[in-house]
Each structure stands twice: as C-alpha cells, then as structure tokens.
Amino acid sequence: MQRIQLDKDVKPLSEFRSKVASYLEHVHKTKRPLLITQNGKSSAVLMDVSEYEAIIDKIELLQDIQLANSQIEEGQGISNTKAKREILNRINN
C-alpha cells in the first residue's frame, strides 16, 4: 500500500461529499488511502478494497507468526528435521 501524501490525500468531509466519485476513482488509481477530516480532525480513511484485503492478509500472517513464536518459546515446536520426516512419511504412506 502506498503511504498517504498529506498534501494530496487529506480532504475535509464537506469537500469529500461533493466529489465522492472523483475521490473513489483517485483511491483506486493511486492505491493510496484518503484521509477524511471532520471539524479539522481526522475522522475516517477511504481505501481501495484490494489494498484493504492485502493489509488484512498481512495482519493475519503476522498473527500466525506471533502464535508460532509463542508456541516455540513454550516448547511446543518440533525441529525442522522431525517436521520434514513426518511430512515425507505422510506423503509416502
């Protein structure tokens, strides 16, 4: 995902309302999120669906890695050699 460009990707809600279609097109084209402000404060982020899905996939992968690390620290892991042996046994049987 591209990072927000503060000079281009921050819009007040009143302007967003009047140009929704063009901002949707801009988000799809640039793959950068659009930060929408209300009363001068950040209020919402509009982003491309494929970019959102990619972020969710990365978060889930990081959670899986964190879980695996925790399991290894708790002694629940197995060696690479043992894992390879078990997989080969399953494939061959």
Q: Tens of pLDDT along 29-82?
A: 999 999 999 999 999 999 999 999 999 999 999 999 999 999 989 999 888 899
Residue 93: pLDDT above 80? no
> What distance in Å separates the CA atoms of residue 74 and residue 86, rounded to the nearest whole number?
21
Residue 13: pLDDT above 90? yes
SS (H, E, C) 9-75: CEEEHHHHHHCHHHHHHHHHHHCCCEEEEECCEEEEEECCHHHHHHHHHHHHHHHHHHHHHHHHHCC
Q: What is the pLDDT of residue 1?
A: 76
Pick the CATH number of 10-47 from 1.25.40, 3.90.660, 3.30.70, 3.40.1620: 3.40.1620
Cβ(55)–Cβ(33) under 8 Å? no
